Every structure is written in C-alpha cells, then in structure tokens.
Amino acid sequence: MDRIPILQMGRALLITIQVDMHDQLALALEEDLAAKIASSGARGVLIDISSLEIIDSFIGRMLDNIAGVSRLMDAETVVVGMRPAVAITLVELGLSLSGVRTALNVDRGMAIIQQRLHDYEIADGD
C-alpha cells in the first residue's frame, strides 16, 4: 500500500500531502507519524496541505488526531497552506480544528517550529 512520506529535518518532521487521500492512507499516516515522532525525538511537525482540494470530516479528524498525539509526545503540529475554499467548506461542515495550529505557508509554519526548537535549546542548555 502507498504511504505518505515523512521527511526529517533536525528535530522537525515535514509532511506534504499531495494526493487525494483515501481513508486507509490517512489512517496509515496517523500511525506512521506517531512512530516517527517517538523514534526521532522530533519537537515539531509541519504538515503542508496546500495541494489538498478538499478536507472532509475524516481528514479533518486525522489532522486533529495527529495534533493531539503529537502534543502528548511533546511535539507541536502546524498545518500550513489551507486553501480559502477548503477553509470556508470546513467551517460550514462544522469543523474548526481548534486543537491544530495553523500558518499561511511553509515559511511561516517553519518559523513557528524554529521558535519552539530554539526555546527548547535554551531550556536544554545546548
């Protein structure tokens, strides 16, 4: 079965969702990511959804779950690049993804994660 690739950049993980995901693919991503956070000790997860043309309640729930699981494992998830039409539809659908941090684009999202990594380095005394 296809898998969505998860890239590692230092203590940040990068995911770019470029395909119209079916439900199993979304579930697999959720599992893979949790395992990857544990094995890599990542503190930040950036998910780029700028290619996604729709987000239905299943994918919305996946994003919510990923953010929740990451938070429990001390990593912050930032979802970036949601399209206007997708945002309007998601709100109408009744999903606000209140547990997920968002940013306009990859740059802004990375800045949020870098800031957090920076705070950690100070706390760790590295």
Partner 1 sequence: METNSGDVLVISGSDDVVRVRQAVRAKAIEIGLSLVDQTKIVTAASEVARNTLDHGGGGTATLLTVQNGNRQGLRLIFEDQGRGIADLDRALTDGYTTGKGLGLGLGGAKRLSNEFSIQSTPGKGTRVVIARWK
Partner 2 sequence: MAKAPMSDLPKILREHESQILDQWLRLLTQNVRTGRGRITERELQDQCRDFLAELRDAIEGGNLDDIRTGSFDRLRDMLGHISRSRAAQGFTPSETAIFVFSLKQPVFEMMKSETASAESWAFGMLLDQLGLYSMEEFLKRREEVILRQQQEIAELSTPVVKLWNGILALPLIGTLDSSRTQVVMENLLQSIVQEGAEIAIIDITGVPTVDTLVAQHLLKTVAAARLMGADCIISGIRPQIAQTMVHLGVELNVASKASLADAFALALHQTGRRVTRISSNDAKTSGISRGSAPGGLTGQANIGS
Among 1, 39, 92, 126, binds partner 2 (CB under 8 A): 92
d(CA 59, CA 84): 17
Residue 27 or 86: the one with the smaller Cβ distance to partner 2 is 86
| Nearest Cα residue to 55 out of 24, 28, 110, 93 | 93
> Token digits for 121?
């380095």
| Nearest Cα residue to 19 out of 60, 65, 51, 46 | 51
Should residue 97 be labelled a site residue for partner 2 when binding is judged by CB under 8 A?
yes
How many residues bind to partner 2 according to rule CB under 8 A? 17
> Is residue 79 a contact partner of residue 101, using CB atoms and an 8 Å limit?
yes
* Min CB(69)–partner 2 separation in Å: 20
> Is residue 48 a contact partner of residue 77, using CB atoms and an 8 Å limit?
no
Should residue 103 be labelled a site residue for partner 2 when binding is judged by CB under 8 A?
yes
Residues between 45 and 84 with contacts to partner 2, criterion CB under 8 A: 80, 82, 84
Should residue 111 be labelled a site residue for partner 2 when binding is judged by CB under 8 A?
no
* Min CB(71)–partner 1 separation in Å: 18
